[in-house]
Structure 1
Amino acid sequence: MNISDIVALGLWPQSKKTTTKKGIQELEDLGYNLFYIGKNADLYTCPGDEAKVLLVRSDRCSVFDIPLNLEIKEKGVWQTAISNSGAKFAEKSGIKTAVLSENVDPSLIIAPRCQIMELCKALEAQIDGDVVQFEFIFRNYLTGSLFEATKNGNDPYGLNLPSTLNEWHKFETPIFTPTTKGVKDIPLNSQNVREKFPEIISSLEKLFKEFTQYAQDNGIVVVDTKLEVFVNAKGEWILGDEILTPESSRFISKENFDAKNFISMDKQILRNFAKENNWKEKAKDLKAGEKLDVEVPDSIKNEVLKGYKTIHERLSSSIIDQ
């Protein structure tokens, strides 16, 4: 299947520009053809006529949607391993994902970075007269932007949370805080979205609760998780590739959480460094296609990588062994 076939199926958003550049030679030689270069991963068409693509994770980094000239060696390998185990956990809970069980030839050097994915498009629906895509977010704790909104008496999701709640308040049952997906994520009324997708939200809420308990039992506190729902060629709803991973969730080691050291085990360390060095301000002058030149100490890179490794060691191995 080539890119024109993918476009014809209506499963590729017109807003995403494809590329004519050649990809990794060992993949191209086998009939996988590069067609999209993302901030952190690339997509290839697959040989044959099935509606599927090959996702290849790089070691490239980005924060706050800013493309960087930074790579953290082996990051893509660990991300892929965690993504595979997250998909496996979801499927054991009865939820279909876009991650297929087949893969490229394991003898290929690039194999640990690869996932063959079912081709799908983002779930869409009309909200207040506009057709929107969604990010379904579940939270165990009150922190971040929601804490600030609640403290100031704002109620972006229609949850009626008291303004007196302290930061890191643990909810008795997870709260659902959906947003639109786009350049700017806009909060949506939680109950309205539940009523529009009752079966989907119920299934995802169950998955989040099960994973929260599983992670807790293995030494990791799940603060929140973003789940993105897609629709495949058969019209079935499925989850994408970033399922229960550091790219879609905030994880804190239990020992750090108990010590009230609320640093998540993912790119938060890099985000904090970015804030300290005003990367957002510097990125304003970037032209389309440009990357921000940054210098990051090895200590920061190693700390980021350590987070991914710890997540994999505590969570992935147990899922695979189940």
Structure 2
Amino acid sequence: MKISDIISLGLWPESKKTTSQKGITQLEELGYNLFYIGKNADLYTCPGNDPKVLLVRSDRCSVFDIPLNLEIEGKGISQTAISNSGALFANKAGIKTAILNEKVDQSLEIAPRCQIMELCKPLEAEIEGDIVQFEFIFRNYLTGSLFEACQNGRDPYGLELSSDLPQWHKFENPIFTPTTKGVKDIPLNSLTVREKFPEIINSLENLFKEFSKFALDNGIIVVDTKFEVFVNSNDEWLLGDEVLTPESSRFISKSDFDVANYISMDKQILRDFGKADNWKEKAKTLKAGEKLDVVVPQEIKDKILNGYTTIQNNLGK
């Protein structure tokens, strides 16, 4: 299937820039053709006429939606393994993901970075007069931007949380804090979105609860997670490739959490480093297609990769 066919099916936005660059030779020779280079992964069309694509994860890194000249060797392979495990966990809970069981030739060196995905488009709906796409976020703990909002008397999701709640307060039941998906994520009223998608939200809430318990039993605290819901060519809803992974969730080892040492095991480590190094301000001078030149100590790279490896080993069961 060609990219023009994918666009005509409404499964790829015509406005999203594609590439004419050649991809990995072994894949191109097998009929997979590179059409999109992302911040962390590349997309190839697949041989045949079925609506699917090949995702190939790189070791590239990005934070704050800033492309970086940084690679962490082995991260792409670890990410792919965690993504496959997260998708399998969702499948066992009765929730479909875009990741297909079909595999590339496993003798290829690139195979551990590859996932064949069903083509789909983001779930959209009208909210307060606007057509929006969504990020469905569930939280076990009060922290980050939501804690700051509570402290300042703001209620971005209509949850009526008390301003007296301390940071890292554990909710008896996870709270649902949906946002729009875009350049800037805008908080949405929790009840309004629940009423719009009751079956989807209930299914995802149950999945989040089950996964949080599973992770806790295996030594990892799940602080929160983000689900991105898509619709396939049969108008069925499903999840993408980042399901219960460090790219969509915040994880802390239970041993650290129990002593109030809230060290993130995911890319929050890189965000924190980038915040201290003022990457957002530095990125303002970037031109289209440029990457921010950053220097990250090996110690930080090792910490990130060790976090991914621990998540993979503990939760990939």
The interval holding the TM-score normalised by the smaller chain is over 0.9
The whole-number CA distance in structure 2 between the counterparts of 1:283 and 1:262 is 28
The answer to whether 1:36 aligns with 2:36 is: yes
Deviates more, 1:11-20 or 1:93-102: 11-20
Counterpart code for 2:60? R
* Structural mapping, 1:147-158, within 5 Å: 147-158=147-158
Report the counterpart of residue 258 of structure 2 in structure 1. Answer: 258
Counterpart code for 2:109? I
Counterpart code for 2:4? S
Q: CA RMSD in A?
A: 0.6
Map Cα deviations across residues 23-65 of structure 1 (whole Å, 9 max, x no partner).
0000000000000000000000000000000000000001111
Map Cα deviations across residues 90-115 of structure 1 (whole Å, 9 max, x no partner).
00000010000111000000000000
Report the counterpart of residue 229 of structure 2 in structure 1. Answer: 229
Counterpart code for 2:245? T
Give the 3-state SS of the residue equivalent to 2:250 in structure 1: strand
Counterpart code for 1:301? K
Q: How many residues align?
A: 317
TM-score (norm 2): 0.99
The whole-number CA distance in structure 2 between the counterparts of 1:128 and 1:103 is 42
Give the 3-state SS of the residue equivalent to 1:264 in structure 2: coil
Give the 3-state SS of the residue equivalent to 2:84 in structure 1: helix
Counterpart code for 1:78? S
Counterpart code for 2:222? V
The whole-number CA distance in structure 2 between the counterparts of 1:145 and 1:37 is 31
Q: Give ranges in structure 1 of 5+ residues lacking alignment.
A: none
Give the 3-state SS of the residue equivalent to 1:183 in structure 2: coil
The whole-number CA distance in structure 2 between the counterparts of 1:222 and 1:18 is 35
Counterpart code for 2:312? H
The answer to whether 1:46 aligns with 2:69 is: no
Alpha-carbon deviation of 1:14? 2.8
The whole-number CA distance in structure 1 between the counterparts of 2:268 and 2:123 is 28
Map Cα deviations across residues 279-318 of structure 1 (whole Å, 9 max, x no partner).
11111100010000011111111110000000001000x2
Report the counterpart of residue 108 of structure 2 in structure 1. Answer: 108
Give the 3-state SS of the residue equivalent to 1:105 in structure 2: coil
The whole-number CA distance in structure 1 between the counterparts of 2:263 and 2:133 is 30
Counterpart code for 2:105? D
Give the 3-state SS of the residue equivalent to 1:117 in structure 2: strand
The whole-number CA distance in structure 1 between the counterparts of 2:57 and 2:312 is 16
Report the counterpart of residue 55 of structure 1 in structure 2. Answer: 55
The answer to whether 1:210 aligns with 2:236 is: no
Alpha-carbon deviation of 1:15? 3.5
The whole-number CA distance in structure 2 between the counterparts of 1:62 and 1:236 is 31
The whole-number CA distance in structure 2 between the counterparts of 1:178 and 1:95 is 19
Give the 3-state SS of the residue equivalent to 1:107 in structure 2: coil
Q: Give ranges in structure 2 of 5+ residues lacking alignment.
A: none
* Structural mapping, 1:84-123, within 5 Å: 84-123=84-123
* Structural mapping, 1:169-248, within 5 Å: 169-248=169-248
Give the 3-state SS of the residue equivalent to 1:153 in structure 2: coil
Counterpart code for 1:87? A
Map Cα deviations across residues 96-141 of structure 1 (whole Å, 9 max, x no partner).
1000011100000000000000000000000111100000000000
The whole-number CA distance in structure 1 between the counterparts of 2:124 and 2:13 is 12
The whole-number CA distance in structure 1 between the counterparts of 2:15 and 2:187 is 22
Identity %: 76
The answer to whether 1:306 aligns with 2:306 is: yes
Counterpart code for 1:132? V
